[in-house]
Amino acid sequence: MAVVLGALEGEVMRVCWGAEKPVTVRQVLDELNTDRTQPLAYTTVMTVMSRLAEKGVLNRAPQGRGYAYTPAVADEAALAVREVLRAHGDAAVARFAAEAALDPGLRDRLLRLLEESS
């Protein structure tokens, strides 16, 4: 099943992706409410973050009376790639490899990324 992020889920994820360390619901709430005329409720953000953890998009670890959250995927592009792989498996990888073979620049970038990640 593909993970589809709603508008608020996307905003929450952008805050989490931009954080340098694990974040709490309160920290995300404060960031989201910075430029809002109608502030979000704590419980709204808590529910969204809990659901994102259930979907496997956020990791959470106990911290005090609540949780600290970190992204389970690096960014929106990583989330999209993960969903393509989940939906299409080896066929998606094979197609990507075929496309990379046709574009030397893409192939070189891919090889560089693979070397950096090992």
Give pLDDT tens digits for 7-46: 999 899 999 999 999 999 999 999 999 989 999 999 999 9
Q: How far is CA 45 from CA 3, 27, 88, in A?
A: 18, 10, 32
Closest residue by Cα to residue 8 from 36, 21, 107? 36
Residues 65 and 102 in one domain: no
2 assigned to some structural domain: no
Which residue segment(s) compose the domain that 80 sits in? Answer: 76-117
Residues 17 and 61 in one domain: yes
Task: Name the pTM for this structure.
Answer: 0.68
65 assigned to some structural domain: yes
Residues 59 and 85 in one domain: no
